[in-house]
Amino acid sequence: MILFNKHFVYQQFSVASNRVLKKGWQSIAVIFCLAFSLSLSMSSLKITRGITAEDINISKPKETFSINLTTSNSEKVNYKYIKEFARQQNFFKHLSFFTFGQGEVKFYNQSSEQYTVGIAEPSLWTTLDLFPYIGQWPKSPHEIVISYQFWENKFSSDTDIIGRSIEINNVPYIICAVLEQSFITPPYKMIQALETVNGKTALWLPLNELNSPGINEYLGIGQSKSPQQELQHAVNQTFNIKEDDKYPINITIMPFLDKVNESTLWLRVFYISITSIFSIVVITALFNILLSNTMSYRANTALRMMLGGSLLQVYIIDFFELLILFFIAILIAMPFNFLLQSFINNYSLYSFGSVSAVPEFTVFFIIVSISLLVLSTLAFLPHLMIPQDTLINEQGSGSKGSTNTRSGLQHIFFNMQLSISLILICFSVFFISNKSQQVDNFFTNRITDVVAIELQHKNSNLESLEITQLYQEVLKHAQYLGYNAALSTSSPLDLAGNSVVLKSAQTNDLSFHTVSVSKQYFNIMGNRFLEGQGFPELQPFNNDIVVSEFLFKFLQSDSPQALANFKSHGYDHILGVVSESRIANRVYSNFIRHQDGIVYSLYNGYSETSSADRMHLILAQGEISMDDYNHLFLPFIQKINIKPAFSLEKEQKNRMKSVFIGLIFSAVLLLSGLTITVISCWSMVQFSCKLRRAEFGLKLALGAPPISIIVQYMKDMVISVLWSLTFTLIIICIGISFFKMLPGYSSFPIGWIILICFIFILAVLASSMIPLYKYIYKNNPMSSLREN
């Protein structure tokens, strides 16, 4: 095989190296972008997967939980409450609390320095299954543990440190142990401010009755008694130490890793966004370099093929060029990667394990292989698209037609890139516009202090009227006990009611959900009435309905017949229009369009949707205790299954979190689309200017003003861009009509389309004008006339 011929390989490699050198600044820019993109990608798997148990030395992750004790009114938590809670609970085998503060530290008669000081129950170390690097865990209230880094920096790793004295806030302590070097302070948000000022936690004081800082939040780590025992993902309880306690303590229990990773979520989203943008930029830039190679070295390719070289043998130069760029980029990426990881580990609480310049082999192999495969395929594509015979013929018969072919091919790829970028831009804007509706919704209809409990009757033989009576009894019972309560046949945050589709020959199909609620529902949920009112206290009619804001707007804006069509189907008694606080959870929604909104009917057993088997009891309070459960449901325990209560405020915030993440990724898509537009326009104009240098020179020599050439060129560009727009519009129309069928997506607003076109044209013009200006005014195209 010729590919194994040493001389051949050497020759092709040296040609490729020369090409890289010849490109000068362009190569340097690409190498650095590639290096940065690779260094981001190298750590991306490690960082995006979040913090693992190994990263923070947790040996039993499934059994380890995080416990937060807080007082809602900022009242300080007395340590005796913590001890009492630990004594009363029966879930954890080991349970240790800790907190953080600042301390004036003085040793060896040196001046005092301020450090972040951890204050932990001595049992924390055994709960975490840790062993000291040297010494023993504290046994008395005056013994402290120091970090490895503090020991190394301040005591020069002196192994005789154990038993020495150190003053913290003028109180003497004895050093009893040094932590392992790999120990990482559990990353919690609340200690971030402390940590960033003075670095990592240097010393750990014992937490006890004598030494409790009296703050309003304590952190705890607990190991459950049995691995099989599962706690609810987040348990919110109010813990009253005594019946008459004025300030109850709120307790939140979560799996430890979930708690840790919750605080790194935004960092990870940011990281993925940056990595994606850089990768797209680099791939586009490299593709344009290789494409430009294919065009610029076409004559050489033709000659090589005429002398008997196959396409693969000729193509290997491009591949070598790619390899050279990659190799140099990888060399630069290694220290980049090291600095990046060190930065994350040193300047934030978020540690993702040990820092290493060399990435995990598998990840690295996969990233490099995929990148090379994608790029080499893309680079090979133009070679394949040019018929060999044509290529050779161009060489044989001089350059007849070759300029046109080259220019044509470049335009095809240019248009392809523009189309891809425009598709990215359109879809990202489409997603942003849809998500922003949900954000608007969230800020105008925030739910506060409402919990929902899902109920399901146990007797499958019940008639619908009997089911209604049963749930009405639950409601009456709750109201009798003094709870501000309501019923709803669907979860108040989901669109999971009965779906109705009204078909009409005159108007668009109308689809909505019907939900039955009790009279107090809107009041408890805090939904505002934009028009009309809710269900009347006295003598409500069975066909009374309240419609959601979105449905009403849709009915008004669609066509004059839409409202008539809606009313003709029995929805003719509209009492009012209400604001909407639902954030549709797509996982639980079906595939039917529901964007047209909701129709609320009164839950009284007679309306169509009153026959729901499941029911939600809505209570106007922030959380409910076990006592509340007992009071509310004890009489119905034989008849109804009761699921745990969930706070609508928290659930709404959780859902908004995913909406915000979606918004960020849409913004990433938008930025990527614009970047591809700019890079491809830039490359295209640069190449085209080279090709048309003689033409520009001649025109200028004949007295044409430079601006007229620029205008002529821009006209050509607009024609070219129009082709892309036509192709893109077809794809977008198909795509959007598909997305419109999905739940949660509305139609594409005309305002956004105008905005996209404006941004796109601006990007095209800006990225075309700069190289064009350079070629016309700086490079003097008239010099090409002398060369010819």
Partner 1 sequence: MIEVRNLVKTYTQDSVDTQALKNISFSIAKGEYVAITGPSGGGKSTLLSIIGLLDNPTSGEFIFSDTDITTLSVTNKSKFRNTHLGFIFQSFHLLAELNVFDNVALPLLYCNKDKQEIEHLVNNILKRLNIQNLRDKKSTQLSGGQQQRVAIARALVNSPSLLLVDEPTGNLDSENGEMVMNLLDDCHQQGATIILVTHDLAFAKRAQRQLFLYDGSIKNI
Residue 389 or 537: the one with the smaller Cβ distance to partner 1 is 389
Residue 590 engages partner 1 in binding (rule: CB under 8 A)? no
Residue 711 makes CB contacts below 8 A (sequence gap 6+) with: none
Size of the site for partner 1 (CB under 8 A): 29
Handedness of CA 569, 573, 578, 581 (dihedral sign): negative
Return the percent helix, strand and coil in the chain, to nearest 5.
55, 15, 30
Q: How far is the CB of 710 from partner 1 (least distance, A)?
A: 30
Residue 403 or 444: the one with the smaller Cβ distance to partner 1 is 403
Burial of 82 (0-12, 13-18, 19+ CB in 10 A): buried
Q: Which of 5, 232, 568, 708 binds partner 1 (CB under 8 A)?
A: 5
Residue 1 or 538: the one with the smaller Cβ distance to partner 1 is 1
Residue 22 or 778: the one with the smaller Cβ distance to partner 1 is 22
* Residues from 370 through 389 that contact partner 1 (CB under 8 A): 388-389
Instruction: Please give the Cα distance from 290 to 296 (Å, whole number).
Output: 10
Residue 8 engages partner 1 in binding (rule: CB under 8 A)? yes
Q: How far is the CB of 387 from partner 1 (least distance, A)?
A: 9
H or E element, residue 100: strand 92-106
Residue 647 makes CB contacts below 8 A (sequence gap 6+) with: 236, 450, 451, 622, 623
Residue 405 engages partner 1 in binding (rule: CB under 8 A)? no
Q: Which of 198, 250, 263, 313 binds partner 1 (CB under 8 A)?
A: 313
Q: CB–CB of 401/394 below 8 Å?
A: yes
3-state secondary structure at position 763: helix
Instruction: Please give the Cα distance from 657 to 316 (Å, whole number).
Output: 48
Residue 401 or 536: the one with the smaller Cβ distance to partner 1 is 401
3-state secondary structure at position 663: helix
Q: Which of 69, 105, 161, 305 binds partner 1 (CB under 8 A)?
A: 305
Q: Per residue in 576-611, is it b (16+ CB within 10 Å) or e — as a string?
A: bbbbbbbbbbbeebeeebbbbbbbbbbbbbebebbe
Candidates 209-217, 390-398, 442-450, 625-633 — which segment interacts with partner 1 by CB under 8 A? Answer: 390-398
Residue 203 makes CB contacts below 8 A (sequence gap 6+) with: 103, 105, 115, 117, 118, 144, 145, 146, 147, 150, 166, 168
Residue 404 engages partner 1 in binding (rule: CB under 8 A)? no
Residue 21 or 373: the one with the smaller Cβ distance to partner 1 is 21
Q: How far is the CB of 722 from partner 1 (least distance, A)?
A: 23
Residue 395 engages partner 1 in binding (rule: CB under 8 A)? yes
Residue 372 or 392: the one with the smaller Cβ distance to partner 1 is 392
Residue 299 or 729: the one with the smaller Cβ distance to partner 1 is 299
Q: How far is the CB of 389 from partner 1 (least distance, A)?
A: 6
Q: Which of 61, 199, 309, 706 binds partner 1 (CB under 8 A)?
A: 309
Q: How far is the CB of 3 from partner 1 (least distance, A)?
A: 10
Candidates 14-22, 67-75, 346-354, 356-364 — which segment interacts with partner 1 by CB under 8 A? Answer: 14-22
What angle separates helix 750-773 from helix 648-691, to the nearest 10 degrees? 40
Residue 196 or 397: the one with the smaller Cβ distance to partner 1 is 397
Q: How far is the CB of 690 from partner 1 (least distance, A)?
A: 16
If we measure between CA atoms, which residue out of 106, 73, 282, 276 comes closest to residue 203? 106
Q: How far is the CB of 306 from partner 1 (least distance, A)?
A: 7
If we measure between CA atoms, which residue out of 640, 306, 328, 343 comes closest to residue 472? 640
Q: How far is the CB of 393 from partner 1 (least distance, A)?
A: 5
Build a one-symbol-per-residue string for 25-64: x at contacts with partner 1 by CB under 8 A, - elsewhere.
Answer: ----------------------------------------
Residue 1 engages partner 1 in binding (rule: CB under 8 A)? yes
Q: Which of 74, 114, 310, 737 binds partner 1 (CB under 8 A)?
A: 310
Q: Per residue in 239-276, is it b (16+ CB within 10 Å) or e — as a string?
A: bebeeeeebbbbbebbbbbebbbbbbeebbbebbbebb
Residue 303 or 372: the one with the smaller Cβ distance to partner 1 is 303
Q: How far is the CB of 305 from partner 1 (least distance, A)?
A: 7
Residue 145 engages partner 1 in binding (rule: CB under 8 A)? no
DSSP symbols for 218-284: EEEEEEES-TT----SSEEEEE-SSTT-SSPEEEEEEEHHHHHHHHHHHHHHHHHHHHHHHHHHHHH
Candidates 392-400, 405-413, 631-639, 720-728 — which segment interacts with partner 1 by CB under 8 A? Answer: 392-400
Q: Which of 24, 398, 482, 703 binds partner 1 (CB under 8 A)?
A: 398
Residue 303 or 714: the one with the smaller Cβ distance to partner 1 is 303
Residue 303 engages partner 1 in binding (rule: CB under 8 A)? yes
Residue 723 engages partner 1 in binding (rule: CB under 8 A)? no
Q: How far is the CB of 37 from partner 1 (least distance, A)?
A: 29
Residue 192 or 388: the one with the smaller Cβ distance to partner 1 is 388
Q: Which of 89, 149, 300, 658 binds partner 1 (CB under 8 A)?
A: 300
Q: Give me the residue label for tokens 């405020």.
A: 649
- The 3 state secondary structure assigned to 489-504 is CCCCCCCCCEEEEECC
Q: Give Dmax (Cα) for the chain.
A: 102
Candidates 12-20, 141-149, 170-178, 670-678 — which segment interacts with partner 1 by CB under 8 A? Answer: 12-20
3-state secondary structure at position 465: helix
Q: Which of 396, 532, 635, 644 binds partner 1 (CB under 8 A)?
A: 396
Q: Which residues in 564-609 belong to E strands, given as ranges?
A: 573-578, 598-602
Residue 15 or 761: the one with the smaller Cβ distance to partner 1 is 15
**How many other C-beta atoms are found inside a 10 Å radius of the C-beta of residue 66?**
20
**How does strand 171-178 pair with strand 134-135?**
antiparallel
CA distances from 714 to 408, 419, 683, 698 (A): 17, 18, 15, 18
**How many other C-beta atoms are found inside a 10 Å radius of the C-beta of residue 129?**
13
Q: How far is the CB of 23 from partner 1 (least distance, A)?
A: 13
CA geometry: angle 354, 356, 361, nearest 5 deg: 105
Q: Which of 307, 538, 587, 707 binds partner 1 (CB under 8 A)?
A: 307
Q: For binding to partner 1 (CB under 8 A), which residues are involved?
A: 1-2, 5-8, 11, 15, 18-19, 299-300, 303-310, 313, 388-389, 392-393, 395-398
